[in-house]
Chains A and B, each alone.
Chain A
Amino acid sequence: MRQGNKYLTLATLLAMAGGMGSTAALADKSTDEIAKYRQMIADGNPSELSAAQGEELWKTKRGPKNASLEQCDLGLGAGIVKGASAQLPRFFKDTGKVQDLETRLMTCMETLQGIDPKTVVNEKWLKGERDTMASLVAYIVTESNGEKINIDMKPAEMKKMYELGKMAFYYRSGPMDFACSTCHADTNKRIRLQDLPDLRSQKGAAAGWGSWPAYRVSSGQFWTMQHRLNDCYRQQRTAEPIYGSDVTIALSVYMASTANGGTVLTPGLKR
């Protein structure tokens, strides 16, 4: 309702300004209408279905060791899920590595349940253990909705990852010579009617990073951040990175730390 009113005033103002920037006005009108559309579908985000399955899986005894993930330490202590993904990626002393949510879950699956990480890494998107992973992720990120993005950049390993991520963000490759920055380093850039956030800025990174993982309306699927990044490499017409590889974690560290202080909006709802 309120949104509608805001749009009316905007339209009136534009009409008074007369004639100028009519294409921009049209695009803005569409963006406004699309904002209304997104608001209408926000209640009842189908991610809830994946999250419910994930919560069940978290508590289910599985794998060669027949154990649940309830003792998994996502960074805030064994078994603490609430708020955990708002502080990921982070440096973990026990593995000596910087891990994002998905690679950390693979560690828990291996140590607690005896499930070989390869069963996730070598699987196809949304199949087998990788589908299990997506459900677990849906559950965990839902438990951080509304929290502040809070990435601990003190460890030297995090700084190293940040630098690597920044490099990867600007690194041009593929037949089109695209980098992430080609599409994500402009304010007001659009593809079709999709606003592309400027991921170099705190605001843009908070909007982009903070709203992933998400349910994608176009495919009717819940996508993890690894899935999102993989698809961005595909958009870039480049070789797809290995699941959970350093470059994907580095990019996540770069985006997440840039987004520090923003609000976690996961699970998102995307085109």
Chain B
Amino acid sequence: MGNPMKIRAASKDGITEVKVLISHEMETGQRKDSAGAIVPAWFIKELTAKHNDKVVLSSEFGSSVSKNPYLAFKFKGGAKGDKVSVSWTDNKGDSRTDEATIA
């Protein structure tokens, strides 16, 4: 489930720029906790962004993407008021989808 993402989408001159902040630990599985035990890997593996129902980005992450991942990209089209949604799935099978309106 996780906490909500922050998605900002703005269209200008026919291009929509999307910026996403995601709440996620992104544990590498290589870090030790204070007791010396390995903290198990826990990271987002797949992320898909859609404009209305069309996929505009599909990505695969490794565990070296930073904690609380940030992502910015641009696509052609997209009008003010349209929806942009972002979904992720992590290595534990947890997932989340949030959406924003293009400003």
Interface of A with B (CB < 8 Å)? 43-44, 46, 48-49, 52-53, 220
- The CA of A44 and the CA of B23, in the complex, are separated in Å by 12
What are 27 of the A-B contact pairs (CB < 8 Å)?
A43-B19, A44-B19, A44-B21, A44-B70, A44-B72, A46-B21, A46-B67, A46-B68, A46-B70, A48-B6, A48-B21, A49-B3, A49-B4, A49-B6, A49-B21, A49-B22, A49-B23, A49-B68, A52-B3, A52-B4, A52-B6, A53-B3, A53-B4, A220-B25, A220-B66, A220-B67, A220-B68
- B66 contacts across to A, CB distance below 8 A: 220
Chain A residues, CB < 8 A from B22: 49
Add 17 more A-B contacts to A46-B67, A46-B68, A220-B68 (CB < 8 A).
A44-B19, A44-B21, A44-B72, A46-B21, A46-B70, A48-B6, A49-B3, A49-B21, A49-B22, A49-B23, A49-B68, A52-B4, A52-B6, A53-B4, A220-B25, A220-B66, A220-B67
A-B contact count (CB 8 A): 27
B residues apposed to A, CB below 8 Å:
3-4, 6, 19, 21-23, 25, 66-68, 70, 72
Give bound CA distance, A30 to B19, whole Å: 28
Contacts of B72 in A (CB 8 A): 44
A43 and B66 CA atoms in complex are apart in Å by 15
